[in-house]
Amino acid sequence: MSAIHHRQVVLASGNPGKLRELSRILEPIGLELRSQAEFDVPEVEENGLSFVENAIIKARAAAGHCALPAIADDSGLEVDFLNGEPGIHSARYSGGGDAANNARLLKELGDLPEERRTARFQCVLVYMRHPLDPTPLVCQASWEGRILFEPRGDNGFGYDPLFFVPDQGCSSAELPSEVKNRVSHRAKASALLLEALRRR
């Protein structure tokens, strides 16, 4: 295997936005990130009970299929009043898309007062050198906020329109992309991963 081949890493996601974001972050250490869509990696069942387990499942599957190191991300929203739900089920909370997920969350919280609507986004990034890597790098970061009473803003996806960021004074979906890409859970976890890979 050539030295250049060693610098390629597969991203266990077909999401082009995620690929662009992580590619920019990893560029300084000379890693070329490639989407698992290029390699026709089959969908894997995310049957873990935590963000960490699901990220490892995805990274292991991609590394095994592509014979390359792999990076996987698992993330979601934890609402304190709902004992951490929707958590690992964030993307499929309602069985529908983003709008249905947001509608279900608002219904669950009802008229719960503002101070009890605390929540956070979580992101776990995992780097595996190969599918049997006994010590994968695991980087986790969170983003604190609270759930609004109605959606605000259209610059985002998922629960962004309902997630109020106190230190920014607006919802995540009202933040300019360059600000969100600096302060979000994924941005913080990515910075930790970059630092860990530099050390390794």
Task: Kindly list the catalytic residues.
Answer: 74
Strand pairing category for 170-171 and 118-128: unpaired
Distance CA 164, CA 146 (A): 5
Residues 80 and 105 sit within 8 Å (Cβ to Cβ): no
- Torsion angles phi and psi, residue 124, rounded to 5: -120, 125
User: Which neighbouring-strand residues pair with 145?
Assistant: 119
Cα dihedral 46, 48, 51, 53 sign: negative
SS3 assignment for 161-199:
HHEEECCCCEEHHHCCHHHHHHHCHHHHHHHHHHHHHHH
- Contact indicator for 58, 44 with CB cutoff of 8 Å: yes
CA distances from 33 to 5, 6, 43, 185 (A): 11, 11, 19, 20
